[in-house]
Structure 1
C-alpha cells in the first residue's frame, strides 16, 4: 500500500474512532436510553376504568444511565417526577449490573480514544509492529467492540429481565402500583450500540 494512501486510511479511521468516543460520551450524559409508558394499576382497578378512561391513568418516563424524568397519572392529574440513579435508586435497582454498564461504557470511551491516538500515530509516526502496528489497532478495535456489545446486552437485560422501568415508576410510591405497558430504546441506546 502506498505511503500516502496508508496515511489517508489511518487518518479517516482515527477521525471515526474519535467521533465514536464523542458519541458515547454524549450518550452517557443524556436521559434518552429508554422511553416507557406505564399504567396506574391500582387507580384503574378502583374505578374499573376501560377504553378511553385508561388515558387518565397512563404515565410516561424517559431515563438514561444516570438520571431520568417522567409523569405519573393516577386519575387525579399529572404528577411530574425526576430520578437519579446515584444515590436515589441504589436500593431499587440491580446495582451490580448498572455499575457494570457504566464501567464498560467508560472502558469503551478510553479504548476508542487510545485507538484514535494509535491510528494517528500509525498515520504520521513510525510505529512499532507489536502494539502500535496493525495488531495493536486490531486489539483496541476488538476491545471497543466487545465493550459496546457488553453495554448493550447488560443494559437490555437490566431493562427487560429485572423490569427496571417498573422499579423506577414504583420508586417511593406507597399507595399506587404502576405496571409497565411499553418500553422502547431511544437515541442514546442505539448510539452506544452503533459504536460496537
Structure 2
C-alpha cells in the first residue's frame, strides 16, 4: 500500500486535473472570438454598414447593420457554414476542436493514473508517474497548439469575411478594416494548461522527495569502510 503522503499527492493531482477538465469543458461551450468589419455594396466606395461575426467552437452569431441593407442577427452552426467557405478555415477549425478533444482524453487518462497510484505502487509500469507525466504534458502541449492555430485562423485567414459572404450571397458586398479579438472561451484554455502543469509539478515534487529519501537511506551502506562491508 502507498504511504499517506503519496496518496494525498496523487489524489490532489487528480483533483487539480478534474478541475482543469471542467474549465476546458466550459471553455469549449463559450464564445471564442469576435470579428468586426466595415461593409458596403460591391463597387460602392461608401462603407456605411458593419458586420460582426461572433464565433464559438460549435455555434456562432452574425450581426449585420446596413450590410448590404437594413440590419439582422442570425445564429448558425460553425462547421456546416465553414463547409461553404475556404477549405483552409474549415480544416484549421476542425483541427482545433480535435486537439481540445484529445486534451480532454489525455486529462481523463491523467486522472485515472493518479487514482490508480493513490492505491498502488506501479512505478515500474506506464501506469506509474511516467504515465501521468505523459498524459498531463500532452494535455498542456496540445492546448497551447490549439490556441495558436485558432488565433491564426481568425487573424490570418479570411474566415470571417467568408462567413459574411455566405449570409449575403444574393447581394455581393465589399468588406474592409477587419478587427478580430479573442474572447473569454479562448482565454479559459490558459488556466487549463496551467492546471495540467500544476498536476505534473505536484507528482514531481513527491517523486523527487521520495527519491532523495531512498538515496539517503542507501548512503550509510555506500559510505561504510570496505573492512566492515566484508563482514
User: What TM-score, normalized by structure 2, do the two folds share?
Assistant: 0.72
Give the Cα separation in 1 of the matches to 2:58 and 2:184.
15
1:57-87 CA-partner distances (Å, limit 9, x unpaired): 2332311111101310117432112221232
Identify the match of residue 50 of structure 2 among 48, 58, 68.
58
For residues 123-162 of structure 1, the aligned pairs below 5 Å read: 123-162=118-157
Any idea what SS the aligned residue of 1:41 has?
strand
Residues 1:70 and 2:69 aligned together: no
Cα distance, 1:148 vs structure 2: 0.5
Unaligned runs of 5+ in 2: 194-231
Residue 118 (str. 1) matches residue 113 (str. 2): yes
> What is the DSSP-based 3-state SS (H/G/I as helix, E as strand, rest coil) of the residue aligned with 1:38?
strand
Aligned length: 187
Root-mean-square deviation (Å): 2.3
Structure 1: segments with no counterpart, 5+ residues: none
Deviations 1:125-145 (A, max 9, x none): 332432121111111111111
Larger radius of gyration: 2
Aligned to 1:100: 95
Which residue does the alignment assign to 2:178? 181
Partner of 2:84: 91
Aligned to 2:40: 41
Aligned twin of 2:74: 81
Q: Please state whether the residue corresponding to 1:80 is helix, strand or coil.
A: strand
Deviation at 1:194, TM superposition (A): 3.1
Q: Secondary structure at the match of 2:79?
A: coil
Contact residue 55 and residue 78 of structure 2 kept, 8 A: no
CA distance in 2, matches of 1:158, 1:61: 14
Correspondence for 1:14: 14
1:168 aligns with 2:163: yes
TM-score, structure 1 length as denominator? Answer: 0.83
Query: Contact between 2:81 and 2:163, CA under 8 Å: does it hold in 1?
Result: no
